[in-house]
Structure 1
Amino acid sequence: MLTHIVLFKLKDNSAAKVEETAQVLRNMEGKIEELKYIEVGIDVLHSERSYDIALITKFDSMADMDKYQVHPVHQEVIKHMQQVRESSISVDYEL
């Protein structure tokens, strides 16, 4: 199982914009066959080092994650994120 975690810091981190973007991410659920698990969390601490949104996804293999990366639904999400994110970081690991 491959886990892919991305943290996003948004340009506009108002509650409405963060929720709107979180919903864009959540909307991938059930639309990409290779995406076995998705969790979207919104930061509650709002500390100086906080990111606004956490995306946790899981795939059966690296090959499945590669298919996810180019899937049209994910490509639309990428377009949205390119417009709204200030920065992002990620980590990928296998268990």
Structure 2
Amino acid sequence: MIRHVVLFKFKPGIDWNDPRALAAERTAAKVGTEVPQLRDWRYGRNLSTRDIAYDFLVDGLLNDMEDVEKYLVHPFHQDAIRQWREISDWVIVDVEV
């Protein structure tokens, strides 16, 4: 199994009052039901106010790296990427669990 974790950090001038952030959050919430390779899907806003904190997390569980590759190119996921790219930078990790 592969745990795919992404942490998003808003670009300067973006916060949760921005309609683009709210739209990206709504799209992220649906990824788990739209991408069949995902066995589990979690997402949420960060509660920490520390400077090093990121703003949002998505966390997916997939069978293997082949499923990760299918997830990455899925059209719904690609739409989510487009939305998040406009408002944030991110880091990812894929770990075997």
Q: What is the TM-score of this pair, normalised by structure 1? A: 0.88
Give the whole-Å Cα distance in 1 for the aligned partners of 2:49 and 2:27: 21
Residues 41-56 of structure 1 aligned to structure 2 (within 5 Å):
41-56=44-59
Deviation at 1:30, TM superposition (A): 1.3
8 Å contact kept, 2:40–2:62: yes
What letter is aligned with 2:52?
Answer: R
DSSP-derived class of the 2:92 partner: strand
Range moving further from structure 2, 73-82 or 10-19: 10-19
In structure 1, the partner of 2:9 is 9
Alignment match of 2:30 (pick from 27, 31, 36): 27
Give the whole-Å Cα distance in 1 for the aligned partners of 2:45 and 2:90: 14
Structure 1 residues not aligned, in runs of 5+: none
In structure 2, the partner of 1:79 is 82
In structure 1, the partner of 2:69 is 66
Deviation at 1:16, TM superposition (A): 5.4
State whether structure 2 residue 91 is matched by structure 1 residue 92. Answer: no
RMSD: 1.5
Q: What is the TM-score of this pair, normalised by structure 2? A: 0.87
Structure 2 residues not aligned, in runs of 5+: none
* Matched positions, count: 94
What letter is aligned with 2:59?
Answer: I
Q: Give CA deviations for 1:19-67 in whole Å, capped at 9, x if unaligned.
A: 4432221111211110111100211112111100011011011101100
